[in-house]
Homo-oligomer: A and B are copies of this chain.
Amino acid sequence: MTPHAFDDALQLVAQGGGRYQGSTQPAWWNMVGPFGGVTAAVALQAIMLHPERLGDPISLTVNFASGLAQGTFTVSAQPVRTNRSTQHWVVTLSQDDAQGVGSVVLTATAITAVRRSTWSANDLPMPAVPPPDNLARTQPPAGTVEWLNRYDMRLISGPIPSRWDGGAASPDPALASLSRLWVRDEPARTLDFAALAAMADVFFPRIWLRRAVPVPVGTVSLTVYFHATAPQLLETATGYLLGQARGQAFCNGYFDQAGQLWNAAGHLLATTHQLVYYKE
């Protein structure tokens, strides 16, 4: 059986001392490097593979310092503090330039934890939306970036503008930058923490929706809070997730967006935020 494209991207070869070597995959190519979500997943995967890991991820923040060039890279995942039930990680992803000089292309911090069963609640109930089977798969536009083909997305609201005419999507600021969609890996793949981290980044830049102007953009920082336990991910299995994202503040070259990912049963699996550079 051919490995899943997502597993291909996560393939890391241990070099010892928390260092791993991986390589970029054409299947995940975005405009000037791989899809940021898959790169965030690779950073997390180095932690998942680390022999000293304690517990499961609860928090991941990835800062994108530069586009990843095609080829090999090194990820270093260091557990800098291990407590009784939590562990703190610092991750760096670097690449050598033509002269063999290594440059940092990504920094990340993460926390893993052993969870205990406690009182739990969800203050962001899943919005009422049509089920994925009632919606057609949203076809990526012809000639689009490759990684979009790695997901089955079924858009509910807030599409990429069909006309780049500078008209805001909605006069209501609360809706102007809101998108909702069902998403799963294509082909289907059982959900794990790495896949959840990647899906936290599937939303196209809110500023495109907000302005209907295709300004150059790039995520500079992505945070994912994991609210799911490993058994809940297994239960979610290959089901679609409902993703929602909206912009918050757009100011002088950077905007932020807030997002949520629920499984079809309505469990809020992850909340996510990102800060995105935009050009004009």
Interface residues of A (CB under 8 A from B): 58-59, 61, 63, 65-66, 80-81, 83, 86, 88, 90, 92, 103-105, 107-109, 111, 113, 115-125, 173-174, 176-177, 210-211, 220-221, 223, 225, 227-229, 246-254, 256, 258, 260, 268, 271, 273, 275, 277-280
CB closest chain-B residue, reference A110: B63
By beta carbon, the residue of chain B nearest A258 is B258
Determine whether the beta carbon of A248 is less than 8 Å from that of B61.
Answer: no
Contact A273 B225 (CB under 8 A): yes
Main SS class of interface, A: strand
Q: A246-B123, A249-B227 are in contact. Are A118 and B63 (CB under 8 A)?
A: no
Contact at A108–B109, with CB atoms within 8 Å?
yes
The residues of B that contact A92 with a CB separation of less than 8 Å are 80, 90
Please indicate the chain B residues that have their CB under 8 angstroms from the CB of A253 in the complex. 113, 115-116, 118
CB distance from A191 to the nearest CB of B (A): 16
Chain B residue with the shortest CB-CB distance to A220? B111
Contact among B111, B221, B247, B268 for A111, CB-based, below 8 A = B221
**Most B-side CB within 10 Å, residue of A118, A174, A278:** A118
Taking CB as reference atom, which chain B residue is nearest A87?
B65
Q: Please tell me if the beta carbons of A119 and B254 are within 8 angstroms of each other in the complex.
A: no
B residues near A90, Cβ cutoff 8 Å: 90, 92, 107
Asked if B66 and A119 make an inter-chain contact with CB atoms under 8 angstroms apart, the answer reads no
User: Contact: B109 with A107, CB < 8 Å?
Assistant: yes
Q: Considering only CB atoms, which chain B residue lies closest to A82 in the complex?
A: B65
Residues of B within 8 A of A173 (CB): 121-125
B177 touches A221 (CB 8 A): no
The one of B81, B176, B227 that contacts A256, using a Cβ cutoff of 8 Å:
B227
> Are A58 and B220 touching (Cβ within 8 A)?
yes
Is A86 touching B220 in the complex (CB atoms < 8 A)? yes
